[in-house]
Structure 1
Amino acid sequence: MALARKQRKTDALLALEQLEMRASLLEKEKSAHLYSKRSEFRSEFCQLEETDLKLVEERKQERQKLRQQINRVRTNVGKFQRSLKSAKPNQQFVQKLKELMEEIESSITAFKNQQRENYDSLSKEEKVASQEISAFDKRIESWTLMSTSAPPTQAAKTGDGGTKSHTETEYPPAIADFERFLQQTGGHQGGWDDYDHQTFLKIYRAHHSKGKPFLDEAVRSLPGRSERDVVEHEQWYREYLALKDRRKEAIRVWREQKESEKAEALAGVEKERDEAEDAEAERQKAEAARKEREMTAAKLAQWKAEQEMKRLAEEEKMLKERLARAEDEAKKRKRKAAVKAKVEEYARQKGEEKEILKAADEALAKEEIKRRRAANRQLERFQLRDVAALEEKKVKQIEQEIEKEHQAMRLERLKGQVDVKVHRDPSRLYKLTEGWENRKKDAGGSSNSASRGPITSVPKRAVPSWRKGI
C-alpha cells in the first residue's frame, strides 16, 4: 500500500512537471505574438497586452494568498505535532488538542471550499470561452467557404456595378468606403513616397495646431512638389482623416453589435443546454423512481422472510433467556454481597481519611495564622524604619539649608571687608617698554661700529670634535 501511494505521488509530480513545461511553452508562444512590436496587429494587441498584464498580476496575488493559507495550515499542524510530543495526561491538555484539531479541520475545510468555488468558476469561464472560440471558428469557416464559393467577377465588383462582395455586406459601409478611397487614391500616403508624406505631416501638424498657414513652408521643404500638389495632398489628407474617423466609429458600433449578438447566441446555447439538462434530469429521475420501486418491492419480500425467521429465533431466544436469567439472579446476589462488603470497607476508609484531612486543614490554618502574624510584625517594623528614615532626611535638609544661609552670610561679610580701588593711568599706554629701550641702544652702537671700517673676518661656529678631519 505504501508503494502504491509512493507511485501515485511520483506520477502526480511527473504530470505536474509536464503541465508546467507545457504552460511555459504556451506562455512563450503567446508573448511572442502578443508583445511583438513588428506585428501588423500591434494596435489591436495593445488592449490584449493590458489585459494580460492584469491577469498576470492577479495570478501572482492568488499564488501569494495560497502560500499564506498553506503556511497557516502547516503551522497549525506543526503546533499539533509538538503538543503531542509533550503530552500531559489531564483534561486541559485534551481540550487544547481538541481545539487545535478543530481549528486545523476548519482551516482545511475552508481552503478546500474556496478552491472548489474557484475551480467551478474557472470551469464555467472555460466552457464559455470554448463556446466563443467554436463560434468564431464556425464564422471563419463560413467566411472561407463563402469567399471560395463566390465567382471572381462578383468579388471584383464594387458599389458602382450594383453588386457587393461578402466583406461589404458583412461589415459597415464606412469600412468599404475607406478601403475604396485608399485603393483609388494610392494607399495610406496618397500616392506620395514615405519621406515626402512624413515631411508634409510634420509641417501640417506643427502649423495646424497653431492655426497658421503652412503652404509656403511645405513648398520650401518639399522641393519636388509644386504648390498645387501640396494643396491637393492637403485636401486628400482631410478627406482621409474624415473617412478614417467614420471607419473607426463604424467598427466600434459593429463590434458592439457583434458582442450583443454573441451574448444572445451564448444565452440561447445556455438555454438549450439547460433545457437538455432538465430533460435528462427528468429522465434520470423517472428511471431512479422505477428502480427505487423495484428495490422497495424486493426489500419488502426480504423483510417479510426476515421477520418470520426473527420470530422463530425470538421464541428460541426467550427460552434461553429464562434459563440464563435464573443463573444471573444467583450471580447477582453473590455480587451484591461482595459489593456491600466493599462499600462498608470503603466507607470506613473514607471516614479515616476525612479525619486525617480535617487535622491537616487545622494545622494548615494554624500555620497560616502564625505566618500572617509574623508578616504583620515585619510590616510594622518596616513602617517604623521608613518613618525614622524620613525624619532623618528632613533633618538633613534643614541642616543643609542652614549651612547655605551661613555661607551666604560669610560671603557678604568678606565682600564688605575687601574694598579694591584701581587708579587709571592713560600715559602708560604710550610709554616705551624696556625691551624697546634696549633695542634702541643696540641700534645706536651697531651704527657706530659700522663707521669704523670694513669687516675683515667673519666669525664661524665651532666644529664638533667628531666631525674634525672629515
Structure 2
Amino acid sequence: MMNCSRQILSRIEKFEKERAMTVLCRKTAWTDVIDELEEYEKILQKDRFAQKRILQKQLVKINNGVKKFQKHLTDVKPSPELIGRLQEIMLDVEVSINALKEEQCLRFEKYSKEERMCKKEVIAYEKKFENWSLLVKSNPKLPALKINPFHKDLPAEVKALEDFLQKTGGSHGGWDQFDHQAFLRVWMKHGGRSSYRKEARLYLPSKTEEEVQQHEDWHQELLRLQDKKREAIQRWKTSKEKERQSRIQTQEEMEEAQRKERKAKNLAEQQQTEEERTEVARRLEEWKKKKKQKEEEEGEQKLAEEIHRRRQEKEERRRQLELKMALEERLRLKREKEEEQEKKRREKEQREREEKRKEATKVVKSFSERDLHKVEAKLHERQLREKEEEERQKRIIAKLKEKMDGHVNRDPFRLIRPTKGWEERMKHSEPSGQGPTLQMFHRAIPSWRQGL
C-alpha cells in the first residue's frame, strides 16, 4: 500500500513538472488561455485540498474508533456490557469504512468519466490543429478551409472564432509571424489609435496602407470574437459549476438516503443480533442446566462405582491377607521341617567327621611309627657307610704313606673333601628316600554342598 501511494505521488510530481514546462513554453502565444487554465487549476487545487482534509478527518475517525476498541480490549474483564460496547464500536467503525469506500468509488468513477471526456476533447483539438496547418488550394496565402466535424459540439461563439480564423488565415490573419508581431507592437504602443499607421510603415515596408487597414479590421474583429468566446467560456464554466453543485447536492441527497438506509439496516441487524443473542443465551442456559444435570448424574454414578470399587478392593485385600497368612503358615511349617532335617543332617555329618578323624588319627600314628623306623634304619646305614668310608680313607692314606716313604706330597683330594661344618650338618640331616606318606587325598566337595 505504501509503495502504491509513493508511486502515485511520484507520478503526480512528474505530471506537474511537465505541465509547468509546457505552460512556460506556450505562455507568450496563448496568454489569455493560459490565464484561464491557471484560474481553473487553482479551483481544482482548492477542491483537491478540501477533499484531502475530509478524507483525513474520516481516516482519523476510523483510527480513533480502532484505538478505542483496542483500549477496551486490554486489562478489562469480559462482561455482557463490555461486549455490547465493543459491538457498537465495531459497527461504527464498519459503517465509517463502508461509507469511505463508497464515497471513494463514486469519486473515482466521476474522475474516470472526466478523464475520458478530457481525452476526447484533446483528440478533437489535436485534429483541429492539424487542420490549421493545411492550406486552401484556391488561395495560397490563406490556409485550407476544412469543415471540422467537432464544430457541432462547440458553443456558437467558439465556433464563430474558429471559422473566422480558418477563413482569414489563422492566428496571424494571413501574415507571417514576424509582420504580425511588429504590427501588434506598434498597435499596442499607440493604444489602437490611427496614429500608429505612420510608425507601422517603418516596421512594415512591404505592406501597403490598405493591407495594414485590412489587417487592423481583421484584428479588431478577432478581438471582438475572442471577447465573445471568453464570455461564452465564462457562461460555460458557470453552467458547469451549477451542474457540479447540483450533482454534488444530488449525490449528497443520495448519500443521505443511503446513510439512512444503512442506519435502518444496521438497526434491523442490531435488533436481529440482539434477538439472536437472546436466543443464544437461552440455549446456553438450557445447555448449562442439561450439562449440570448430566454432571450430577455422572457424579452419582461415579460415586456408586467408587463405593463398589472400594468394596471390591477391601474384599480383595481381605482375601489376599488370608492367602498371605496361609502361605506364611505353610512356609513356617516348611521352614521348621527343613530346620529339623538340617539339624539331623548336621548331627549326622558331625558323627561322620568324628569317625573319620579317629580313623585318620590311627592312620597317622601308624604312618608316623613306620616313618620313624625307616629314619632310624637310614641313619644306621649312613653311619655304617661313613665308618666304612673312613676306614677306606685310612687304608688309602696308609698305602700312600707307604708308597711315598715319608715324603709328603700334595693331596689333590683336599679340595673336594667335606669340611667340618658340612660334616656336622650332615649329622643332623634326615636321609633321603621314599618314606611313608603323611597325607591322604580325598575327592573335593563342591562349594554349594559345603556346610550341609
Q: TM-score, normalised by structure 1?
A: 0.38
Kindly indicate which of the two structures has a greater share of residues assigned to helix.
Answer: 1
| TM-score, normalised with respect to structure 2 | 0.40
Higher CA-based Rg? 2
